[in-house]
Chains A and B, each alone.
Chain A
Amino acid sequence: MSFLGRGSAPAGGINQERVEMATQELDMITDIFNRIVSSCHAKCISTRYAEGDLNKGESVCIDRCVAKFFEVNKKVGEKMQAVGAAAGSAGPGGFSL
Chain B
Amino acid sequence: MDFSAMSPAEQAHMNRIIERKQMQDFMRMYSSLVERCFNSCCNDFTSKALSSKEVHFYPPNLRDRSVLTKPIAPPPQEQCVLNCTDKFLKHSERVGARFAEHNAEMMGANMNK
Interface size on B, residues (CB 8 A): 43
Residues of A within 8 A of B25 (CB): 30, 34
Verify A33–B96 contact, CB threshold 8 A: yes
Instruction: Pull 5 A–B residue pairs with CB atoms less than 8 Å apart, ordered by A.
Output: A41-B88, A49-B37, A52-B85, A62-B98, A70-B106
Instruction: For chain B, residues 71 to 113, give those with C-beta under 8 angstroms from any C-beta of chain A.
Output: 74-75, 80, 82-88, 90-92, 94-96, 98-99, 102-103, 105-107, 110-111
A83 to B111, CA, bound (A): 21
CA distance A8 to B74 in the complex (A): 62
A21-74, CB < 8 A from B = 22-23, 25-27, 29-30, 33-34, 36-37, 40-41, 44-45, 47-54, 58-59, 62-63, 66-67, 70, 73-74
Of the residues A25, A48, A63, contact of B98 by C-beta under 8 Å: A63
Q: Which of B14, B80, B87 contacts A53 (CB 8 A)?
A: B87
Q: Can you name the residue of chain B whose Cβ is closest to the Cβ of A6? A: B5
Closest to B28 in A: A34
In the complex, A11 Cα to B18 Cα: how many Å? 22
Q: Contact residues of A with B, CB < 8 Å?
A: 1-3, 5, 9, 11-15, 18-19, 22-23, 25-27, 29-30, 33-34, 36-37, 40-41, 44-45, 47-54, 58-59, 62-63, 66-67, 70, 73-74
Task: Enumerate chain A residues within 8 angstroms of B40, measured Cβ to Cβ.
Answer: 47, 49
- A37 contacts across to B, CB distance below 8 A: 91-92, 95
- How far, in angstroms, from A41 to B94 measured CA to CA in the complex? 11
Q: Given A50-B83, A53-B87, A1 and B99 touching (CB < 8 A)?
A: no
